[in-house]
Amino acid sequence: MAYLNANIPPVYCKVRKEYLYDMDKSRSGETECVIFGVTSISGRALLFNIMLPNGACFWRLPISAFFQKHYDRAQVPDMPVDTLQLWNCFSYYPSVHTFDFLAGVHGKFRGKDKKFYPGQYLFTIDWAHPETNILNTEHSEIPQEHKCAHILALDNGNYAAQPNNRILWHVNNYTTDNSWPDYKVQNTVWEVEGPDWITEDTDNMFYEIEEKNESK
């Protein structure tokens, strides 16, 4: 797990040029780029690091800055960052992974505007707390607060970062139920080492496990 910055699978795309000029709308347009890294700052949107065709690197742009390479900008709607990404980063320690089972899979996410946006899975960013000697002030390991961010290439040309509970995936031979789930948020902390059992006090390799007998 990385601190602050992490590699991601390279994404060859385009960037809206005003993001390269501190949101100066007079500099609007588009240019190609490749996204190669992500920056995770707790309490802020995911930020992406890019290289441009002139060799310049530009750091820490939000997901709303980018759209897919095979589109012209006029074809792609400008969407606010808080629609494309629902939650801020949960810690300074991001984990990046491409799940084979989801690779190339299409799905749809439900936005804050109650509309569905279809797209294709690219990779996943998740968060955790790395070190027991560092004070944990974040939410990444609280069951009911934790969220990951699946990065999607949307059918409208944009990219999105959405958690599990906003996405329904489509796997042709498996996902045959079209209803919106009514599942509940998980509040349980799952552990297996409880106070009601103990191992035998011997040097046996295949030791026995016994109920703990507490005298009153």
Residue pLDDT, tens place only, 67-108? 999 999 999 999 999 999 999 999 999 999 999 999 999 999
72 contacts: CB under 8 Å, gap ≥ 6? 30
Residue 126 covered by a domain? yes
Residue 210 covered by a domain? no
Residue 24 covered by a domain? yes
Provide, rounded to the nearest whole percent, the portion of the chain with pLDDT above 70. 97
Residue 108 covered by a domain? yes
Quick count: other Cβ atoms within 10 Å of Cβ 212?
Answer: 9
Residue 60 covered by a domain? yes
| pTM given for the model | 0.90
Residue 36 covered by a domain? yes
- Full domain range(s) for residue 85: 5-190
142 contacts: CB under 8 Å, gap ≥ 6? none
pLDDT tens sequence across 174-186 = 998 988 899 898 8
Position 51 confidence tier, pLDDT thresholds 50, 70, 90: very high
Residue 216 covered by a domain? no
Domain count, the chain: 1
Residue 20 covered by a domain? yes
Mean of all residue pLDDT scores within the chain: 92
d(CA 64, CA 80): 6
